[in-house]
Amino acid sequence: MRPTPRCIAPRRPVAIGSSAGGPCKPRRVPGASRTAMVLHIVGADHLQPHFLNRHGCPYTRELVRRHRDLAMTQGHLHRHLRLPDLVLAQILIVVGTNWFGAAATLGMLGVLFWPLALLLYHGPLAVVVMALVRACPEEAGPYQWVKRAYGPRMGLFFGWILCSFMLVFLAAGCLGLAGGLSYALKSVDVDLQQWPVVGTALPFVFLALLTAFGWSGFRQARWVQNLAAVALLLVLGLLGYRILQAGLLDTWPGFGMSVPTDSRTWISLLKILVFALSGLEFLALVAGECERPERTLPRAIQIAAPINIAIYMIGTFAVVLTIPLAAIDQVNPVAQVLGSLGGVVATGVLWALLLRDFGQNTLGLSGVSRLPMQVGLDGRLPAWFGRVNARGVPTHAVLICALIIAAILSVVTAGSDRQEAFQMLLSAAGIQFGLTYVLMFSLPVFASAAFGLAQSALLRVCALLGGSLATVFVLISVYPIDSDPDPLRHAWRVLLIVLVLLLPGALLAFLPQRR
C-alpha cells in the first residue's frame, strides 16, 4: 500500500484533475478523473473540494460511495406509473368489498349513505390531497408535507405513525389472504384444515410473494395491481348482472327506511365513513415514481373518487336486494350474493376477490417501504435504508418492512391468546390511522403558507370538515362496537397499546441527535 503524500503547507481545496495543487501537488490517484466526470454529470462540480482527504488528496473509494448514496435519490427512481395505472390503483386501494355488507345492515339507508359520504368526507379528502400534491409532488408525499409544514422532527414522528399502522394492517392482510385462499380452495373440494402446518405457513408464503413483487418494482408489480383492479370491476359487473338476472328491480320496495336512533349504529356509520373512503393520499407515497405527479395524481383522484362511490352504491344495493338483513355475511358479502350463480362463476368470483386482495397488499407494501427510504435519504435513519438498486427499487427498505411484518405474523400465529392481543393491536393501529388524517387535514388550515396555497374558502372548509370527522373517529375508536363485557377496560388497554406504539417514534423524532 503506497504511503499518502503529506502536505507541509496549510491545506486548501484542490479541484480534482487540476494541476494547481499549491506548494505540494497531490499525487494523481487512479480514478480521480472518472470521479470528476461523475460529479460533473450529476451537476455537482461544487462538491469536488469536499471529496479531499486531510492531506489534500482525493478519496476515490469514499467518493464512489458518496456518489452512490447521492445517486439513490428521486432523480434515479423510475417513473413507471401513468394515469391509467393511477386510476386503477386509486380504486384498488380505496374500495373494500367487506364494506358492502357493513353498509347493507342499515338497509336502504346504507345505499344512500355513500353519496352523503362523498359530500362529508371523500370529497373533502380529494380536494385537500389534490392541493397538497400540486404544491409538493415528492416521493413519500404525506411525510414530506408534514415535514415542510411542521418541521423535520414532526415529519419523522408522522412517518413513524403512518408506517407502524400500515405494517400492522399488512400483517392482517397476509392473514386475510391465507383465509381467502382456504375459502377459495373449498370450492374445489380442497380443505386446508386437514394440513394445519400448511395453514400456518400460508401467511408467510404470501408475505414472500409480496416482497418479491416489492423488489421487482412498479415496472412489473403495476400489472398485477392493474389486473387486481380489473378483477374488482368484473365482480362489480357480475353484481349488476345478478340484480337484473333475478328481476330484483321489479320487486324493489323503494327507499322506505327509518333513521336509526341507536348510538352503536351511528358509531358504526362513522367508522365505515372514515375507514371505507380513505386512501386517496396513498399514491402520493410513490409520487417520485409517477409520470408528472403534479398533474396525473390529481387527475386520477378526480376520475376515481366518483367511481369509488358508484362501486360502493352498487355493491351495497346488490346485498340489500338479495340477502335478508339478519343473514348478511359482513366478511365476504360478495361471495354470498354471487354464490347462487353456482359452478364456475362462483368459483371464479372467489379467485377474483383473492387476486384483488393480493394486488391491494402488493401496492401497500410498495408504498409503505418508501417511508423508511425517504427518511434514510434525509439522514434521520442510516443511509442504508435510502439506497435503491438499478431498477429504482429501495430493496433494503422493502426487506426491513417485510421482516417486521414477519415478526408480527410469528407472534400472531403462535396461539389463540395472542390472536386476541392482535385484535387489540389492530384497534390501536386504527387510532393511529385516524391521527394521520387529523394531521394531514390540519395542513391547509394551519400551514398553508408553507405550501404557497391560495387562500381558498373551499379548501379550508374541506380541511375543517374532514379534520373534524377524523378527530371524532379517533375519539370513538376506543369504543367497542361488539358486546364487550367491560368497555372501559377495553378502552384503557387500547390506549396503552397506542402509547407503546407511539413512544419509539417520539424518542426517535424528538430526542437530540448526536452529530
Residue of 61 and 490 predicted with greater confidence: 490
In one letter, which amino acid is 399? L
Taking the CA atoms of the chain, what radius of gyration do you get in angstroms?
Answer: 26
| C-beta neighbour count of 8 within 10 angstroms | 6
Confidence grade of residue 484 (pLDDT, cut at 50, 70, 90)? low
Q: Is the pLDDT reported for residue 31 higher than 60?
A: no
Taking residues 443-454, report their average pLDDT.
Answer: 88
Q: Is the pLDDT reported for residue 466 higher than 90?
A: yes
- Cell of residue 364, nine digits: 401497500
Q: Identify the pLDDT of residue 489.
A: 79
Confidence grade of residue 514 (pLDDT, cut at 50, 70, 90)? low
Rounded CA-CA distance 370/43 in Å is 25
DSSP 272: H
Q: Is the pLDDT reported for residue 3 higher than 90?
A: no
Taking residues 271-297, report their average pLDDT.
Answer: 92
The listed range with the strongest mean pLDDT (101-110, 319-328, 331-340, 359-368) is 359-368
- Cell of residue 317, nine digits: 344495493
Q: Is the pLDDT reported for residue 392 higher than 90?
A: no
pLDDT tens digits, one per residue of 66-112: 444 444 444 478 888 999 999 999 999 999 988 998 888 888 888 88
Q: Is the pLDDT reported for residue 19 higher than 70?
A: no
Q: Identify the pLDDT of residue 326.
A: 81
CB 156 within 8 A of CB 497: no
- Taking Cα atoms as reference points, which of 509, 512, 503 lies closest to residue 147? 509
Instruction: Spell out the domain ranges in the chain.
Output: 26-41+58-71, 81-510
Q: Is the pLDDT reported for residue 175 higher than 50?
A: yes
58 forms beta bridges with 52
Rounded CA-CA distance 414/369 in Å is 26
- Taking Cα atoms as reference points, which of 432, 471, 474 lies closest to residue 163? 432
Rounded CA-CA distance 351/253 in Å is 33
Residue of 14 and 368 predicted with greater confidence: 368
Mean pLDDT (the chain) is 81
Confidence grade of residue 32 (pLDDT, cut at 50, 70, 90)? very low
Confidence grade of residue 423 (pLDDT, cut at 50, 70, 90)? confident
Confidence grade of residue 55 (pLDDT, cut at 50, 70, 90)? very low
CB within 8 Å of 58: residues ≥ 6 apart: 16, 26, 29, 32, 35, 51, 52
Q: Is the pLDDT reported for residue 481 higher than 50?
A: yes
Q: Per mean pLDDT, which range of 123-127, 190-194, 386-390 is the poorest?
A: 190-194
Taking residues 417-423, report their average pLDDT.
Answer: 69
Q: Is the pLDDT reported for residue 160 higher than 70?
A: yes
Q: Identify the pLDDT of residue 259.
A: 64
Taking residues 324-350, report their average pLDDT.
Answer: 82
Rounded CA-CA distance 261/266 in Å is 8
Q: Identify the pLDDT of residue 246.
A: 64
Taking residues 428-454, report their average pLDDT.
Answer: 91
Confidence grade of residue 285 (pLDDT, cut at 50, 70, 90)? very high
Q: Is the pLDDT reported for residue 486 higher than 80?
A: no
CB 436 within 8 A of CB 475: no
Q: Per mean pLDDT, which range of 224-238, 300-314, 343-357 is the poorest?
A: 343-357
Confidence grade of residue 419 (pLDDT, cut at 50, 70, 90)? low
> What is the phi-psi region of residue 417: left when phi exceeds 0, alpha when psi lies from -120 to 50, beta otherwise?
alpha
- CATH classification of 81-510 is 1.20.1740.10, yes or no? yes
Q: Per mean pLDDT, which range of 243-257, 310-324, 344-358, 474-488 is the poorest?
A: 243-257
Confidence grade of residue 460 (pLDDT, cut at 50, 70, 90)? very high
- Cell of residue 109, nine digits: 339507508
Q: Is the pLDDT reported for residue 207 higher than 60?
A: yes
Q: Identify the pLDDT of residue 505.
A: 92
Q: What are phi and psi of 123, to 5 degrees?
A: -65, -50
Q: Is the pLDDT reported for residue 139 higher than 80?
A: yes
Q: Identify the pLDDT of residue 36.
A: 54
